[in-house]
Amino acid sequence: MPDRHAGLARAAARRHDDAHGRAVEAIRRLDRAGEPISFKAVAAAAGVSRQWLYTQPDLRQDIERLRTQRTGTAPRVPATQRASEESLRQRLELLLDENRRLRTDIAALNTELALAHGRDRGRRG
């Protein structure tokens, strides 16, 4: 009898691991596609029950985290298109450098324009 129970336990563990893997993949797939993340959507995509998802602490945490990240009016952006914080900082630095350069160019052009106006006035007078 113990061998039968051990076999049943191994089969149940395999089914659990398989369902868990499908759920993880479903979450990733929905997130990459920018689809709404909910227990209902993940359960349907993974072929598992919502009740089972609620009993899995790691999956529940991921679903709740992604669901709260997506609340708001901004359009959903797939994970592959989201910029990292470091990437955003780098863009900001580049834009600030460009802004400084343009301000310097504008100041130089304003000086040139003022000098040209002065020369023009000198010729007329």
The answer to whether 36 and 70 are in contact (CB under 8 A) is: yes
Structure tokens at 124: 């007329």
In SS3 terms, 24-75 reads as HHHHHHHHHHCCCCCHHHHHHHHCCCHHHHHCCHHHHHHHHHHHHHCCCCCC
pLDDT of residue 73: 47
Note if the pTM is more than 0.85. Answer: no
pLDDT of residue 92: 93
Q: pLDDT over 70 for what percent of the chain? A: 88
pLDDT of residue 69: 81
Mean pLDDT, 10 residues at a time, the chain of 125 residues: 79 94 95 92 96 95 88 60 83 94 96 94 83
